[in-house]
Amino acid sequence: MTTDKNLYRPEDLSSWEQDEKLGKPGGYPYTRGIYDNMYRSRVWTMRQYAGFGNATETNKRFRYLLGNGQTGLSTAFDLPTQMGIDSDDPMAFGEVGRTGVAIDTLADMEKLFDQIDLSKVSTSMTINATSSILLAMYRAVGKKQGVDPKMLNGTIQNDILKEYEARNTYIFPPTGSMRLICDIFEFCAKEMPKWNTISISGYHIREAGATATQELAFTFANAIQYVEAAISRGLSVDEFAPQLSFFFVAQMNFFEEVAKFRAARRIWASIMKDRFNAQDPKSMMLRFHTQTAGSSLTQQQPDNNIVRTAVEALAAVIGGTQSLHTNSKDEALSLPSEASALTALRTQQIIAFETGVTNVVDPFGGSYYVESLTDQIEKDVRVYLKRIEDMGGAIQAVESGFIQKEIQNSAYEYHKAVESKEQIVVGVNDFIDADDPSIPLLRVDPKLEEEQVRDLKRVKETRDNAKVEDSLAKLLTAAQGTDNLMPFILEAVEAYATVGEISKTLKTAFGKFRPVVTV
């Protein structure tokens, strides 16, 4: 967390206060926003995160949210799907459909988007280690709907480096994972040009305990690694960079968060222009999705979480986000109920249509305090980037445990501050109620897991298993060679091979990652 002075004056600003350095909205270095008119022309995409149980139940929630004014879909997958484990695997027992929707085969994906026209909606999928498989399934569903793959619009997270650093839903070692990511870049550049091939995520880094500075620094270090990997594959930077996107958190330190987003745009623009010699302005624009902070939600006094979410969402909007998810008040206790999910969506709509904040582009631009914070965050991020560069890059920083250790240290310092009441969390370490009110919670019916396993068995019995085996054999041969793997994954998906079967095939070729333990 930044240390604030009690008053900021013009002399607290660096040279960035000059108009030619600060730039104008829609112009390099994009400190003030990537569009000249920002929300005056069109408000951000309201993309509420949803997914639980089986595909049928999640489809109902999708259609409910779309019917209440949501403007984009965001899909949460359960842990087995994220880890490449099928619902009938003993390792999946008790986890099927719990933290997101269970997807085993193309049949599940068809149910997930039943009665949802993929030519008219954009879909974000929070999936990493198995992102190539879920992307192939989405493309196959679009094909069945008659949608040209070149018109499909959406995002896969596909950011494996932050999994090693903070979140831990990885399967393969970095080399194999980076190959899959570059295969997706290359494939989509030709076959799905509207698709955002990666959402480079600072969200999970911050939620694991990082500071605002570390969130940006580690995210951009990862992004640099991805860009370098794609260029080494023979792709030109302007061929794929316009489809790179980012994912950040909005935390409770309001002004710091606004400054963080402004600094992030400026840093990325200069990285792309000065380091990678990008020529297309779209390659230099930092487009990002924001989610309010799950780690700020408390199980005590859960109604307070509505206020926290509103403050965080406002910071994201004033900071210039392109899309936004607002957390529900009950997410410290369970998956969001339908009622609390609607309140979270209404929070965005109230900010968009009642507050007037969309009437002005970069309303805090020129604030002595915000500009000073923006400069300080940029300076501190660049120090970290230089340090990681000196180590050899993000992969080396991950393999050595450096990034993980830095996050752990910051998390420890924050928890010490909460325990000592240096940092007040209302309802947790101060202003405590003797009797916290209870609220109705969503409970995933255990029968949904039984249904999912039964449906998977039915698919395996009715598919052409010889065709599945043939497609997996081709995939293994390709993975042991150098071919782009996406066409082979597509063939396996369309034969109704499972997420687990495809993942095991890739694991045979790539191996499994063993993390460095840091203390």
Spatial strand order of the sheet with 45-50 comes to 195-196, 154-156, 123-126, 72-76, 45-50, 323-325, 288-292, 244-250, 198-201
d(CA 129, CA 172): 8
CA dihedral 161, 291, 59, 156 (to 10 degrees): -30
Residue 439 has pLDDT above 90, yes or no: no
> pLDDT by residue (tens digit) across 209-223?
999 999 999 999 999
d(CA 38, CA 24): 12
Which uninterrupted H or E stretch holds 73?
strand 72-76
> pLDDT by residue (tens digit) across 191-209?
999 999 999 999 999 999 9
What pLDDT is attached to residue 519? 54
Looking at the chain, the number of H-run helices and the number of E-run strands are 21, 9
Confidence of residue 234 (pLDDT cuts 50, 70, 90): very high
d(CA 70, CA 67): 7
d(CA 242, CA 240): 6
48 exposure class (CB count in 10 Å sphere: 0-12, 13-18, 19+):
buried
pLDDT > 90 fraction of the chain, expressed in percent and rounded: 87
d(CA 198, CA 216): 16
Query: Residue 141 has which token pair?
Result: 């569903």
261: nearest Cα among 408, 156, 381, 159: 381
Which uninterrupted H or E stretch holds 418?
helix 402-419
Strand-pair partners of 200: 246
Structure pTM? 0.91
> pLDDT by residue (tens digit) across 128-184?
999 999 999 999 999 999 999 999 999 999 999 999 999 889 999 999 999 999 999
Mean pLDDT for the chain overall: 94
d(CA 479, CA 490): 14
> 316 near 290, Cβ under 8 Å?
yes
CA dihedral 161, 164, 170, 171 (to 10 degrees): 100
Average pLDDT over residues 446-475: 96
What pLDDT is attached to residue 2? 63
Residue 466 carries which side chain, given as an amino acid letter? A
Confidence of residue 20 (pLDDT cuts 50, 70, 90): low
Phi, psi of 452 (to 5 degrees): -65, -45
Give the number of other Cβ atoms within 10 Å of residue 473's Cβ.
13
Which uninterrupted H or E stretch holds 238?
helix 237-240
Query: Residue 208 has which token pair?
Result: 């694991």
